[in-house]
Amino acid sequence: MNSYNAALAVDIAGIKMKTPVMAASGTFGFGVEYAGLLDLNQIGAVVVKGMTLKPRDGNTGRRIAETPAGMLNAIGLENPGVDRFLKEIFPQLSQYQVPVIVNIAGGTIEEYGELARQLANSGIAGLEINISCPNVKQGGMVFGTDPNSAAAVVGEVKKYAAVPVIAKLSPNVTDIVAMARAVESAGADAISLINTLLGMAIDVHSWRPVLGNIVGGLSGPAVRPIAVRMVWQVAKAVKVPVIGMGGIMTAEDAVEFLLAGASAVAVGTANFINPHAATQIAEGIADYLRQRGLCHVSQLVGQVRI
C-alpha cells in the first residue's frame, strides 16, 4: 500500500493520516488487539473504544445480536478508565506510526472536560466526543439529541483539549443539520457521523428482548443509506471536515461517502467480519482513483452530481 500513500494522504483538522480510512470507535478495541492481524501503521487512524473517567463494567446480559444486514449492540461503554488507558494501554499503541484518537464519554459536562484535561498532553492525535451513544442510560442520549447540550459539551472539551476535537453525532434526531451547526459553532474542529441507530429485537419464542439492555445500537450495511444522506446534508451545511461512517464494507461504500462530502471515513462493523477491512478498503480506494485517472482522494469529496 505504500505506493498509494501520496494519493490517499489526508489532513483532517490537523490530524495527518496516511489514508482516509479510520478504524471506528467501539469496533477495534484499543487497536493493539488487531496488531497481530494487520499492519496498524497502514491505517488512517485508530479511534479507540469509548473512554470514561472511571472503569465501567458495561451492561449485563446479552450485548450483541445479529440482524438482517447488520447488528445490534448494547455494550454499555465497558472500558478500563482513562487512568489505566494512559498508564498501560496507550504506551503499547504509541509504538505504532498511526494517529490515535480517543473517544470520550461522560455523564455530565464536567466529566467530558475532565477527560479532555487528563488526555491533554498525553501524545494522542485527537479527541472524539461521544455525545450520541444510544446504549448509555445516562448522559449520552440527552447530550446527543439537544443542540444546546451538545454545544455545551463541545465547549467544555475545547477549554482543555490540546488536540483537534471531533464531535460524533447521533442519527437519532429530527434535524441532523441543526446538531452539526451547533457543535461547529461551539468549536468542534471536525464532525463524525453517524453513530448507531436505536433499535430493538424480540425473541419470538421467549417473548423477551434479545438484548439485556432491551434496546441497542444498530450498525452495518442496513444503516448505510441513512448515513450517506446525513453526511450529504451535514457536509453542505458546515465548513469543518466531515468524517463519514455507517455500514462501510467495501471501497465502493467508502467512495459513496466521499462523494457525499466526507473528507475521511471510518470502518466499524466490517472489522468484526474482516480484520483487514480498513487496509483493504484503502487499497480499493486507491485502485478506484487510478482507474478513474484521479491523482488524489480529495478529488472525490463532495462531487456527487445532482
3-state secondary structure of 235: helix
H or E stretch at 38: none
Distances (CA, A) of 265 to 15, 181, 207, 258: 14, 20, 38, 8
Q: What is the pLDDT of residue 128?
A: 98
Choice among 43, 133, 243, 301 that is catalytic: 133
Average pLDDT for runs of 10 along the chain of length 306: 75 98 96 94 97 95 97 95 97 97 93 96 96 49 84 96 97 96 98 96 98 96 98 98 98 98 98 96 97 97 97
Q: What is the pLDDT of residue 204?
A: 98
Q: What is the pLDDT of residue 144?
A: 86
Q: Known binding site for FMN: residues?
A: 25, 49-50, 103, 130, 168, 194, 220, 246-247, 268-269
Q: What is the pLDDT of residue 141?
A: 54
> Contact at 8 Å (CB) between 130 and 107?
no
**Active-site residue 133, yes or no?**
yes
Round to whole Å and give the CA distance between 255 and 302. Answer: 10
pTM of this structure: 0.96
Domains in the chain, ordered, with CATH? 10-300 (3.20.20.70)
Q: What is the pLDDT of residue 35?
A: 94
Q: What is the pLDDT of residue 90?
A: 97
Q: What is the pLDDT of residue 4?
A: 56
